[in-house]
Structure 1
Amino acid sequence: MKPIIAALTTAALLVLLLQTACSTDNVPNQPLAKQIDIERFMGTWYVHGHSPTFMDKQAYSATETYELSDNGKIQTTYRFRNGGLDGKYKTYRPVGRIHDTENNAEWRMKFFGFINAPYYILYVDSNYQTSVVGHPGKEMAWIMSRSPEIDEELYIRLKAELESRDYELSNFRRIPHS
């Protein structure tokens, strides 16, 4: 039974990514961060809020780590505990590339070696301690910080950034960290 579920969830992700990948080489449909210092953006970010997918709908203690390779690719590690703070770790490793090198805020993330999905850096504070990432369809978003803890007022302010852009947040989920 598990192989069937895995196949179905993989197929669902592929459909979602293909839907967005087909029309994503155009100009972004929303304002992006003005200028991203790519070296400062690299490193580990704690994911505090997200639009869950079938892969991470029960994510806890989630982190996203970016490393810029010599070839310009962004090696990404998305890691979280599945189902609870003591759940088994799951790890995904999409590879990113900067799509718009003028401001470095528009990336493409390659999943499963062949699907390119857009990744928009919508906001990053001047100290590179908090960020908001989105997607052209406005159905997927992430709130991240450099710390496993985030002030409630700050979290609400970052979520308001998504609301002001008309993101679909009915399923947006706060991610607990241990």
Structure 2
Amino acid sequence: MRIYIFSFLALFFLGCSTNHPTLKTVEKVDINSYLGTWYEIARYEHFFQKGCSDVNATYSLRENGEIDVLNQCMKGDRLAQAKGVAYATDETSSKLKVSFFRPFYGDYWILMLGKNYEYALIGEPSREYLWILSRTPTMDKKLQETILNKLPEFGYSSDKLLWTPIKGK
């Protein structure tokens, strides 16, 4: 099973190409303000999150400037965790590279970000991955609609979104 997962991720990270126009990110991200816990509101479903509810990610800064990533979710009655590392690719800090299986890295681009870092829309150039994140486990319906209305501008469709179940509340 490990070889299957490793092979898939290697193909994903090395083989992603896109025919989409350039994906626009936010102009600037203050990494220190971005640190902390984010709750997943919705996502494009992929095998590594299949069956996940109560999803969150916690980001913390390392002394060397890299970012520790701890993704957690409930799979049934079991807590599943994945630990990774990320780094900003330029001075805007809006484009990050994230790895859970070094040396393979994937794109993590911040497309929308609340003025007070209360929500974020995360995507990547192939448009295969998308996450709507919030600092709280639930999100205001009006804000959800605002984000959903912006998705086509980024080349995403809301049709593929899976709204993250919250079972632990």
Matched, 1:89 2:79: yes
Q: Tell whether the 8 Å contact from 1:139 to 1:169 is kept in structure 2 after alignment.
A: no
Q: Quick check: 1:166 aligned with 2:155?
A: yes
CA-CA distance at 1:168 after TM superposition: 4.6
Give the deviation of 1:110 after TM superposition: 1.6
Q: What is the 5 A alignment of 1:1-178?
A: 4=1, 6-20=2-16, 29-82=22-75, 84=76, 87-101=77-91, 103-177=92-166, 178=169
Deviation for aligned residue 1:17: 2.1
Root mean square deviation of aligned Cα: 1.9
The amino acid across from 1:126 in the alignment is K
Identity percentage over the alignment? 25
| Distance in 1 of aligned mates of 2:4 and 2:86 | 25
Question: CA 1:115–1:169 in 2, change beyond 3 Å: closer, same or farther?
Answer: farther
CA 57–129 in structure 1, closer or farther in 2 if over 3 Å, else same = same
Q: TM-score, normalised by structure 2?
A: 0.89
Higher strand share: 2
Contact 2:23/2:124, CA 8 A, preserved across alignment:
no
Structure 1 length as normaliser, TM-score? Answer: 0.84
Secondary structure, aligned partner of 2:9: helix
8 A Cα contact 2:120 2:132, kept in partner: yes
Consecutive unaligned residues of structure 1, counting only runs of 5 or more, are none
What amino acid does structure 2 have at the position aligned with 1:91? Q
| Contact 1:9-1:54 at 8 Å conserved across structures | no
Any unmatched runs of 5+ in structure 2? none
Cα distance in structure 2, aligned partners of 1:122 and 1:174: 19
User: 1:48 offset after TM fit, Å?
Assistant: 0.6
Change (3 A) 1:89 1:12: same
